[in-house]
Amino acid sequence: MTERFAQVALPLPLASSYTYRIPETLGDRVVPGARVVVPVRRRELIGIVTEGDAAPPAAAARDVLAAPDPETAIPGGLLETARWIARYYGAPIGLTLKCMLPGGMWGESQVVASLVRGARRPGGLAGEVMEWLERRGGDAPVSTAVRALKRPMWDVLGRLARVGAVSLRVEPPDTEAAALTERVATLAGDQPTLLERDALFRRSPRQRRLYEVLEQLGGSALVRHVTGRLGFSAAVLRALEQRGLVRIGRAERMRDPFAECSGVPPPSSLTPAQRDALRTIQALGPGEGALLFGVTGSGKTLVYLEAVRRVLAAGRGAIVLVPEIGLTPQAVSRFRGAFGDQVAVLHSALSDGERADAWRLLRRGERRVAVGARSAIFAPLPALGMIVLDEEHEASYKNGETPRYHARDVAAVRARIEGAVLVLGSATPSLEAMALAERKLRLLRLPERIGARPLPPVELVDLRVAPKVSGTGAVAWSEALDAAIVGTLARREQALLLLNRRGFAAFLQCPDCGEVWQCPRCSISLTVHTAPPGLRCHYCGHEDSLPATCRACGHPVQQMRGFGTQQVERLLAERYPEARLARMDLDTTSTKWSHQRILGAVETGEVDLLLGTQMIAKGLDFPNVTLVGVVDADTGLYLPDFRSAERTFQLLAQVAGRAGRGPKGGRVLVQTRHPAHHALVWAAAHDAEGFLRQERALRESPPYPPATALVNLLVSGTEENDVGRRAAEVAEWCDGLMAKYELPVTVLGPAPCPLARIKDRWRWHVLLKGPSETLGRVVRYAASRLARARDVRVVIDRDPVSLL
Ligand code: ADP
Ligand code: ZN
């Protein structure tokens, strides 16, 4: 009898696979995709079998202890997708599975044994265990049983499970009860007057700040938010509590707004263009795909809905991916309206336990439509018939940590493996998707808005010459935009105003010596904020108080430069005092569901002017919005990244698409100092094809995707010299590799990244350009040679979306 071994992946930081011996009794259950209990040092953890027939290890292997599930946890297609990701991106399989499987399903989770009623009771240890379980009320974690009976237990429980005397199930570690309530800080007692405040807080300005921030937040806030994003120390909060000024209590965790999201029935008939698109999608064979290129408001969603409906009718399931920010109640209601409780919504605010529940429902086929952001691509549907990826151009489809997968590419691979159909949709497709449409995808167009509504006219306002309103501080405010807002308010219509920069001012500078306040940990200037007041780093969250004098020369005044949403908000409040305002950016949406609350208020007409960052550009469908104003179109235009023009075009086209979606029509005003830039010119003409053609030509020389594939090797560490030296070694290693094997790859760098330091880590990179297949080989080789973490880390980012 030869011994068999299994490779088992665990959700640990150094998650390569470990080899274990398979005991004979578990032989049939230890197969790829199955969950198993294995010993790891002195603990027992739950892992996933990645290989059921592994080579024997050099050293002696420990035994697999148990295999609690009657069938595999990870379906075959998903496991194969995981293997592709690990190989393509050069990532460890353990980390890949970690982003597929909810934390509550493996790792630290525990196996619970329950007595099956009426089962026959044998003698010996088995009988003892059953009796003990009975005394415990029928079920208990296996680890508790081991401790109580002081005997190894897995073997016996495994046998009892097989004869149906007990059942085994995996449960998340015991954190659920704590997660159900959250700590909330609430102001207590009467509000002190300003005079009283001066006395009260004379020696504790931080306490006063926190007190006033809580006031601004409506009197209460989650403790997590106060000590997290707002950056107050727990000590300041405790001091306020001890002085009786703040009460800390527990509140029920906020409800999941999607749980109760009611459905909106879809339009009852398709337009001819929608029908054509649907017909083509239906004719696609397994593994094939289409790109639905439809202008904003052309009714892409109804095409998805009808395509998914047919998949369900054929007895299969579908995954619908939307960008995290597009996962709004409005979007969810459309899917609920069509498919009712077939829909499982996977969103980032679910707890581990809730996520594990949704996972199980999908795995068992009790829900057949998974709607969610990036990671919903891993929904474990047993018979996957379709994957829809809406707004496929969104950068958020790329994962920011290992494995650095792109959901669009994973979707294509998974669809091929499982014989599903892939549908990508966008009004502003990425150059990559358009390139795919030349070879692999069917290109479908919806060139007109529903009801033949015209796209809103877009006017570029040249800030260098346009007449401006005076007295608006750092904010350039054209008379054209001013008049448009006044008109919109007078007609009781709504306006969206986009400014893709949060905070009050971009930075603080000494007018005398020119010193700019920089983050001490990142190479970026600190942004000036007013609510709460302070200097904040938008990369690491570092905070300083607003200084009165220059730290370099002592000059007594400090000047604010540039402007952000907080400053525009103040301007709007002063200039249009009768308008009801809302602001939506990272600072106003950091608490759970605040996002949804703000959009809800716009939808019900409680808001006249909605000001926001890119968050307001996506997917909103409000018919009473007749004006879109872009306060400064140039914020992202000249970032040192080859996609900066593409991103600017997409943002402008998307936000312009929010105007004139109802019968009243609409218009768009774009303030800029670069009205001749091709991104702006084509956006103003609503001509995505024109933009794509010109941008595609620009990517030929020097070559950038899709004209070539890219790999970014990012070298980082805390010692500047070490990082530079390591980057030079990495580049040299690459040069050597290309020369030795005569590979057609260009090695660029080493060079410091445009953001040369983030969170105390210095950053250099080496960029590889060449054919994708060749880069794939390099990545696999590099993963085994370069990525070993010591003081200096080398991250391999294949198909990077950002080179900052
Ligand atoms: P897109 O996603 O392409 O921007 P939507 O799917 O949001 O466009 O559709 C825009 C609007 O048109 C929505 O309010 C939608 O309900 C409506 N709509 C879509 N298809 C039809 C149709 N066939 N008949 C009537 N209204 C429709
Ligand atoms: Zn910083």
Distance from C-alpha of 753 to C-alpha of 318, rounded to nearest angstrom: 40
Q: Ligand 1 within 6 A of 654 CB?
A: no
What does the longest C-alpha to C-alpha distance in the chain come to? 94
Residue with tokens 């020389």: 701
Residue 577's contacts (CB-CB under 8 Å, 6 or more residues apart) are: none
For 641, what's the count of Cα atoms within 13 Å in the CB-facing half-sphere? Answer: 18
Distance from C-alpha of 565 to C-alpha of 583, rounded to nearest angstrom: 8
Taking the centre of ligand 2 as the mean of its atom positions, its distance from the CA of residue 519, in whole angstroms, is 5
CA 81: distance to chain centroid?
20
* pLDDT tens digits along 720-738: 899 999 999 999 999 999 9
Q: What angle do CA 582, 578, 629 make, to 5 degrees?
A: 50
Instruction: For 308-330, give the secondary structure using H, E and C.
Output: HHHHHHCCCEEEEECCHHHCCHH
| Residue 383, Cβ density class (10 Å: 0-12 exposed, 13-18 middle, ≥19 buried) | middle
Taking the centre of ligand 2 as the mean of its atom positions, its distance from the CA of residue 373, in whole angstroms, is 27
Residue 13's contacts (CB-CB under 8 Å, 6 or more residues apart) are: none
Taking the centre of ligand 1 as the mean of its atom positions, its distance from the CA of residue 681, in whole angstroms, is 27
Taking the centre of ligand 1 as the mean of its atom positions, its distance from the CA of residue 300, in whole angstroms, is 7
Q: Residue 764: how many CB atoms within 10 A of its CB?
A: 26
Taking the centre of ligand 2 as the mean of its atom positions, its distance from the CA of residue 765, in whole angstroms, is 19
Report helix angle 76-89 to 93-100, nearest 10: 130
* pLDDT tens digits along 435-450: 999 999 999 999 998 8
What pLDDT sits at residue 260?
64
Tell me the pLDDT band of 178, cut-offs 50, 70 and 90.
very low
In a 3-state reduction of DSSP, which class is residue 383?
coil
Q: Ligand 1 within 6 A of 328 CB?
A: no
Q: Ligand 1 within 6 A of 301 CB?
A: yes
What pLDDT sits at residue 641?
86
* pLDDT tens digits along 365-418: 999 999 999 999 999 998 999 999 999 999 999 999 989 999 999 999 999 999
Residue 215's contacts (CB-CB under 8 Å, 6 or more residues apart) are: 187, 191
759 alpha carbon, closest ligand: 2
Per-residue tokens: 310:
């047919």
Best-predicted range by mean pLDDT (102-106, 119-123, 456-460, 592-596): 456-460
523 alpha carbon, closest ligand: 2
Which of the two residues, 203 and 492, has the higher pLDDT score?
Answer: 492
Q: Ligand 1 within 6 A of 296 CB?
A: yes
Q: Ligand 1 within 6 A of 450 CB?
A: yes
Does residue 328 contact residue 596 with C-beta atoms inside 8 Å?
yes
What pLDDT sits at residue 415?
97
Per-residue tokens: 720:
């500047």
Q: Ligand 1 within 6 A of 619 CB?
A: no
Q: Ligand 1 within 6 A of 267 CB?
A: yes
Tell me the pLDDT band of 177, cut-offs 50, 70 and 90.
very low
DSSP string, 473-515: TTS--BHHHHHHHHHHHHTT-EEEEE-S--SSBSEEE-TTT--
- pLDDT beyond 60 at 582: yes
Give the position, in ligand 1's atom list, of the atom nearest the Cα of 446: 3
In a 3-state reduction of DSSP, which class is residue 739?
helix
H/E segment holding residue 460:
strand 458-462
Range 171-193 burial, b when 16+ CB lie within 10 A, else e:
ebeeeeeeeeebebbebeeeeee
447 alpha carbon, closest ligand: 1
What pLDDT sits at residue 467?
96
Taking the centre of ligand 1 as the mean of its atom positions, its distance from the CA of residue 628, in whole angstroms, is 20
What pLDDT sits at residue 139?
83
What pLDDT sits at residue 218?
62
Q: Ligand 1 within 6 A of 624 CB?
A: no
524 alpha carbon, closest ligand: 2
Residue with tokens 């980082």: 716
What pLDDT sits at residue 176?
46
Distance from C-alpha of 669 to C-alpha of 483, rounded to nearest angstrom: 11
Mutation choice for ligand 1 from 389, 621, 650, CB with most ligand atoms inside 8 A: 621
Q: List the beta bridge partners of residue 343.
A: 369
CA-proximal residue: ligand 1, atom 25 (nearest) = 267
Q: Ligand 1 within 6 A of 334 CB?
A: no
Q: Ligand 1 within 6 A of 274 CB?
A: yes
CA-proximal residue: ligand 1, atom 26 (nearest) = 267
Distance from C-alpha of 359 to C-alpha of 738, rounded to nearest angstrom: 44
453 alpha carbon, closest ligand: 1
Could you give the percent of the chain with pLDDT greater than 90? 47
Mutation choice for ligand 1 from 296, 302, 335, 455, CB with most ligand atoms inside 8 A: 302
Given its phi and psi angles, is residue 315 left (phi above 0), alpha (psi -120 to 50 degrees) or beta? left
Cis peptide before 403 (omega within 30 of 0): yes
Per-residue tokens: 589:
């949406």
Give the position, in ligand 1's atom list, of the atom nearest the Cα of 300: 3
Using CA atoms of 311, 316, 320, 321 in order, give the dihedral in degrees to the nearest 10.
Answer: -130
Residues with a beta carbon under 5 angstroms from ion ligand 2 = 519, 521-522, 537, 539-540, 542
Q: Which long-range contacts (CB under 8 A, 24 or more apart) does 237-245 make?
A: 237/185, 237/210, 239/204, 239/207, 240/185, 240/207, 240/210, 240/211, 241/185, 243/207, 244/188, 244/189, 245/187, 245/188, 245/189, 245/200, 245/207, 245/211
Mutation choice for ligand 1 from 264, 301, 654, CB with most ligand atoms inside 8 A: 301
User: Pick from 519, 559, 572: which is nearest to 756 by CA?
Assistant: 519
Q: Ligand 1 within 6 A of 270 CB?
A: yes
Q: List the beta bridge partners of residue 66.
A: 37
CA-proximal residue: ligand 1, atom 1 (nearest) = 297
* pLDDT tens digits along 318-359: 999 999 877 777 788 889 889 988 999 987 767 677 788 888
* pLDDT tens digits along 86-134: 999 999 888 899 889 887 788 888 888 888 877 778 888 888 888 888 8
Q: Ligand 1 within 6 A of 330 CB?
A: no
Distance from C-alpha of 459 to C-alpha of 669, rounded to nearest angstrom: 5
